[in-house]
Amino acid sequence: MTETEPYELRVDGVARKVATSGQGASLATVLRDSLDLPGTKIGCGTGRCGTCAVLLDDVLVASCTVLAADTAGCEVTTVAGLGTASAPGPVQRALVEAGAVQCGYCTPGMVVAITDLLARIPQPTEVEVRFALSGNLCRCTGYGRIIAAVLALAQEYA
């Protein structure tokens, strides 16, 4: 594996230096393996499941499809920046309260995608929620409780 030049980016509001990233490493891999942020999951690794979702300069992306070195100077928001187990953010709380977390593997990507949705459309319809989450696969919940959680959270903000 060839090493790239060191580069910096901001992750969850903190400046981080990536000293040695494998040539061609994805942002998802660098977040997990170089920056010790395992909250961002890798499922398919090919941009199809959404579990690796992050915000890159406030744009929702599948971090497994982003070349990490291309994010130099960018601002990345991961699920870890949106709340923790001891201090959950509003989306995480809403998902838990709705019983929308089972195995939890899809949850980090759902949290980021829902955060993105509510920032763009604070009062989404069910159709808009389903469309916004259409790139996030969940094997467990059947989506009903996830969608209910989003709609309930939006109601809190109404």
- Say which DSSP state 33 is in: I
**At its nearest, how many Å lie between ligand FES and the CB of residue 5?**
25
**The one among 6, 17, 20, 44 contacting ligand FES by CB under 6 A:** 44
Task: Between 8 and 130, name the residue whose CB sits nearer to ligand FES.
Answer: 130
Instruction: Select the span of 38-46, 82-90, 112-120, 149-157 touching ligand FES (CB under 6 A).
Output: 38-46
SS in 3 state form for 50-75? CCCEEEECCEEEEHHHCEHHHHCCCE
Task: Between 8 and 151, name the residue whose CB sits nearer to ligand FES.
Answer: 151
**The one among 18, 30, 61, 62 contacting ligand FES by CB under 6 A:** 62
Phi/psi region, residue 47 (left: phi>0; alpha: psi -120 to 50; beta: rest), is left
* Residue 108 touches ligand FES, criterion: CB under 6 A: no
* Residue 48 touches ligand FES, criterion: CB under 6 A: yes
Please state, in angstroms and rounded to a whole number, the distance separating the CA atoms of residues 22 and 68: 9
* Residue 52 touches ligand FES, criterion: CB under 6 A: yes
* Residue 102 touches ligand FES, criterion: CB under 6 A: yes
Residue 107: C-alpha distances to residues 56, 126, 153 (Å): 18, 19, 16
Phi (first) and psi of residue 54, to 5 degrees = -140, 170
